[in-house]
Each structure stands twice: as C-alpha cells, then as structure tokens.
Amino acid sequence: MSLKEFGNIVDFQEKISFIKDFFLEFYKGEIEFFNSLEKHFRTRAEFSFYHENNKLYYAMFDPQTKKKIIIENIDFPDEKICNFMPILLEKIKVNPNLKEKLFGVEFLATKHDLSTTLLYHKNIETIDQDLAKLSFELNCNLIARSKNKKLVFNNENLKQSLLIGNKEIFYEFNNDCFIQPNTFINEKMISWVKENLTTQAKKDLLELYCGYGNFTLALADDFSKILATEISKNNINFALKNCKLNNVSNIYFTRLSSEELSQALKKEREFFRLKNINLDDFCFSHVLVDPPRAGLDKSVMDLIKQYDNIIYISCNPISLKENLKVLSQTHKIIKMAAFDQFVNTPHLECGVLLTKI
Ligand SMILES: C[S@@+](CC[C@H](N)C(=O)[O-])C[C@H]1O[C@@H](n2cnc3c(N)ncnc32)[C@H](O)[C@@H]1O
C-alpha cells in the first residue's frame, strides 16, 4: 500500500493493516491497537454557520468536494457539546445582533466543563452587551473573537481530570493550549507510556513538546526529576499551574523551543529562562517527544539520539517513519502502539518506545 492510499483510509481495521506493513522494516513485533469510543469522542469540535433567508444553521464543509453540509444530528462530539448546540442556536437565531456576521463556532469540552467560542466578521465590542446576556442566560463559558479582538464572558479556563492507572491527575487549560482531541484515547496513550516504562532503569526524563503537561504530570512518579519544555508561553503557564494542582515538585517546566533546548544542552547559548535550572543536575535516562505533524528536525534527532530510551508519540505516521529511518541507526523499537485518536479520518496516532542498540 502506498502513502497516497493511506490518505484515503478512514476505517480503523484498514489503518491497522496499513500501519503493520508501513513500519515492518523497523519493527516486526506486536503492535497494540487502541480503538476509540464510537460516539461522543471529540473533545474539540468546530463548525461554520450557514445563513439562508434569515435562518441559521450549523454547517461543515466536505474536505473532498468542498460542499457545505448542514448539520442537524451529529454524535461524534462530546455529549456536552451535542446537548448545547441546539440551545445555543435557538438563542442566537432570535437576536439579530448576535446573528449578523457570525461565521463560526468552536466548542471545547472536558469531563467537567464546556467552552464556546463564537467567531465574527465584525467588531465584537459593538455587541458585548448581547454576548454578556447570552453567557449569563445560558450559564456558559463564552468567548467571542473577531480580527485582533477577544472577549471572555464567565471563565475561559477549563478543568480536566484523567484517570491514569488508579490515580486521578488534574489539569487546567484554556482554548489557546494544544489539546489532545479525544480524551478517552488520551487516557489510553498516557497509560500505555506509563505501563511500558516499568521494566527500564529510570532516572530523569527530558520531555520536548510538553504542552500544558498532559504526559508530564502523569509521569512525575516514575522519574526522579523531569525537565519539560515547550514553545508556547500559554501552555507553560498552565503547566506550572498544573504542578501545583497535583502537588508535584519534581518537574521543571520551561519555555524553550526544541531548537533552543538543543543549544542549551550543548552549552552553545545561555538562556535567562534557565536561570533557576542547572542542566548539569539532570541524568536523563529517557526522552519523550510528542512533536507537531512535521515530526523532528535534524537538530532534535541529534539531541535525542544521545539518550538510552526514547518515547516517541506521533500524530503523523509519515514523518514518524522518516524519523525512524535515522533513529533506527542507534536505537531499536521495543514496543509500538496505534491509537484511533482521529476516528473516521485518515489520521492515526502512534506511540513508539525505542532503546539504544
Ligand atoms: C502535538 S502537541 C503535544 C502537546 C502535549 N504533549 C500534549 O499531549 O498535550 C505539540 C506541542 O509542541 C509545541 N511546539 C510546536 N513547535 C515547537 C517547537 N519548535 N519547540 C517546542 N515546542 C513546540 C506546541 O506548542 C504543542 O504544544
């Protein structure tokens, strides 16, 4: 099967056979597969608004034909989102100020909270009273956005808790953070990493692309210390907050891009952001990477190749394979898993554990 064909696969069974074949040259062992829930699996859902003869509908665009699809009954978003969608629509429909120039909506749900972001092609400050009333009447966390403007009504932060093994881990984040889109699968991914670490000698962990600490907080018990880095200031601010929420004191979160981290570890450059962290105090036995779709560039690969154990979480099998071509010169895969994070789409999340040859 070619890469082009993979782009059309949406069925999980087909994704499984593809992935087995695709990585065969690097790994012939068992690949563990984690299926998603069939309904209400999407944590984040985005829709357009379609205006027709004074009426208003939620709509999506078919990625292939680009044709609009009016949405009435859907069951893939989180149940809180599905329940709230018609209530919100009814309220907006009858208010011309709220309806005019409204083009999109983004919902974000956790186990405990829901946040709704309305997107406008007009200055939202002119309708701030209407938006405040809407948020009050629906008792909802509402955000409105238009070009260079953002208004928040009620609260923009969401609380989340994940059950990893028999321990509950607590998180807080907002809409601007990176959020794994399928909470059920997210719990499976973190648990898989944690469970498969047990046989290796664990000292300190180096984590790149840590977000708001999704994996980090759950792994705090497994390592003496963790250095976790990430490019986004907003993510790091929540990560620091999440340490406090979980009473964790052995994680050092700092805002550094992967490129800056490489420079800092090679002592090529000093960073004020590292003034309270002595990199020489760490003895990394493991490195965890969860990069964006493009995968890892050469400088990051050169960096992670130095460590005995690599945990690679990837949302793109194609860039993962490219990176494995290089990593397999120094490391061998000991475990692999595939997670159907993006149900009914051609995307697939993979987890790979590698150890030095
Ligand atoms: C796939 S997300 C993973 C986040 C986190 N591991 C999680 O599970 O929520 C990738 C993260 O990498 C961050 N990122 C993107 N480019 C980066 C770079 N060059 N250096 C460091 N972090 C980067 C993004 O802000 C994002 O939080």
Task: Name the residue at shortest CA distance from atom 27 of ligand 1.
Answer: 211
137 and 86 assigned to the same domain: yes
Beta bridge partners of 227: 206, 252
Same domain for 273 and 194, yes or no, is yes
96 and 230 both lie in a single domain: no
pLDDT confidence bin for 198, thresholds 50/70/90:
low
- Specify if 177 maps to a domain: no
Please tell me the number of Cα atoms within 13 Å of 185 on its side-chain side. Answer: 28
- What is the residue-wise DSSP string for 37-63? PSSS-BSEEEEEEEEETTEEEEEEE-T
Residue of the nearest CA to atom 11 in ligand 1?
209
Torsion sign over Cα 194, 282, 325, 269: positive
Instruction: Write the CATH number for 113.
Output: 2.40.50.1070
230 annotated as ligand-binding:
yes
The residues annotated as belonging to the active site are 315
| Domain match, 213 and 144 both | no
When pLDDT is cut at 50, 70 and 90, the band that residue 43 belongs to is: very high
Does a structural domain hold residue 263? yes
Residue 178 CA to ligand 1 centre (angstroms): 7
Please report, as a single letter, which amino acid is at residue 3. L
In a domain, 260, yes or no: yes
- Cα dihedral 40, 159, 83, 149 sign: negative
The 10s digit of each residue's pLDDT in 5-33 is: 566 677 778 888 888 999 999 999 999 99
Query: Does 266 share its domain with 203?
Result: yes
* Locus of tokens 């955000």: 143
Each residue of 261-283: pLDDT tens digit?
Answer: 999 999 999 999 999 999 999 99
Q: Cα-flanking dihedrals φ and ψ of residue 51, to 5°?
A: -105, 130
CA quadruple 271, 277, 279, 285: dihedral, nearest 10: -130
Question: 13 lies in a domain?
Answer: yes
Please tell me the distance between residue 120's alpha carbon and the centre of ligand 1 in angstroms: 28
pLDDT of residue 16: 85
The whole-angstrom separation of Cα 131 and Cα 142 is: 8
pLDDT on residue 6: 62
Using a 6 Å CB cutoff, which residues line ligand 1?
178, 180, 209-211, 214-215, 230-232, 235, 257-258, 290-292, 315
Task: Determine how many CB atoms are found less than 10 A away from the CB of residue 175.
Answer: 21
User: CA-to-CA distance for 21 and 25, rounded, in angstroms?
Assistant: 8
Q: Are residues 54 and 17 in the same domain?
A: no
Residues 234 and 345 in one domain: yes
Whether 314 is covered by a domain: the verdict is yes
- Name the phi and psi angles at 81, rounded to 5: -65, -50
Contact (Cβ atoms closer than 8 angstroms) between residue 235 and residue 163: no
In this prediction, residue 205 has a pLDDT band, given cuts at 50, 70 and 90, of very high
Read off the CATH number of the domain in which 326 is found: 3.40.50.150
* Whether 321 contacts 159, CB under 8 Å: no
The CA distance from 186 to 169, in Å, is 12
How far, in Å, from the CA of 71 to the mean position of ligand 1?
32
- Strands (DSSP E) contained in 121-217 are 141-146, 149-153, 157-164, 167-174, 204-208
How high is the pLDDT of residue 4? 56
Q: Are 145 and 67 part of one and the same domain?
A: yes
Task: Tell me: pLDDT of 1 over 60.
Answer: no
pLDDT digits (tens, 9 = 90+) for 136-186: 999 999 999 999 999 999 999 999 999 999 999 999 999 999 999 999 999
User: Does 62 appear as a known binding residue?
Assistant: no
User: What does the pLDDT read at residue 2?
Assistant: 52
pLDDT of residue 54: 85
Q: Which domain holds residue 29?
A: 3-38+182-356
Parallel, antiparallel or unpaired: strands 331-339 and 349-356? antiparallel
User: Last residue of some domain: 157, 173, 193?
Assistant: 157
Taking the CA of residue 260 as reference, the ligand 1 atom at the shortest distance is 20
Confidence of residue 199 (pLDDT cuts 50, 70, 90): low
67 or 291: which carries more pLDDT confidence? 291
Residue 284 maps to a domain? yes
Q: From CA 274, how far away is CA 18, in angstroms rounded?
A: 43
In this prediction, residues 231-240 reach a mean pLDDT of: 98
**Amino acid identity for residue 338 in this structure:** A
CB of 172 closer than 8 Å to CB of 159 = yes
Share of the chain above pLDDT 90, in %: 87
- 3-state SS, residue 160: strand
pLDDT of res. 70? 93
Is residue 163 situated within a structural domain? no
Residue 196 DSSP symbol: T
Distance CA 222, CA 217 (A): 10
pLDDT exceeds 90 at position 87: yes
Strand, coil or helix: 32: strand
Structural domain includes residue 198: yes
Q: Within this chain, do residues 107 and 192 fall inside the same structural domain, yes or no?
A: no
Count of domains for the chain: 2
Claim to verify: residue 236 and residue 87 sit in the same structural domain: no
Question: 88: which DSSP letter?
Answer: H
3-state secondary structure of 256: coil
- What is the average pLDDT score of the chain? 93
